[in-house]
Structure 1
Amino acid sequence: MLTVDEILSRLVELLSQEGETYYARVLEIRRLQFVKAPGEAERRDVAIDILRMYGGMGSFNDLVLQDGVRTPSGSNRRLNSLRNALYEAASRLATTR
């Protein structure tokens, strides 16, 4: 099972390769916040911030990678897999007391 840091790193790499700079930057910021968090409570706060990215129209959950008119199916499958793994890992952390 991948850690939150590993999942975020892989997502940033994928999104950067596919030209999705907005979410690549946002997730890199969350990764740095998570890595630098001094304790469990602070990591839980970052996990909660990550979960907030999944709600509402136009959210991270709605992201589909496209290259002009082409939708790279392999990259989108990888995105979905990593996005689901991140949601599960962040959910576990957010509910841990």
Structure 2
Amino acid sequence: RPLSRDHSLVARLVETGIIRQEDAENHPQKHVLTAALGVADEIEPDVPAEPLSLEKSDVVLICTDGLWGQLTEAELKENFAFPNYSFFLCKLLRRNGI
């Protein structure tokens, strides 16, 4: 499950009800960002309000929409089953032309 919110213009349009989620996937401005680290002197990063409680078998994936936007949640979960999951995720991205 995502721990932070999507900082794209299209996500904001969906949140405010201007467009539907179904329209967001093919929106021409889906990659326009409303916030990003390093583009302003001060930015408030998203952090969970409560500490994240992890179990030994949990996996935390830090990535951009270049990964999670191209693969389904099922594909991501399936690849974490492999000991060298980063290799398999890269292979899957290459197969998808990313």
Higher helix share: 1
Choose between structure 1 and 2 for higher RCO, CA contacts under 8 A separated by at least 6 residues. Answer: 1
TM-score > 0.5 by shorter chain: no
The alignment's TM-score, normalised by the length of structure 2, stands at 0.31
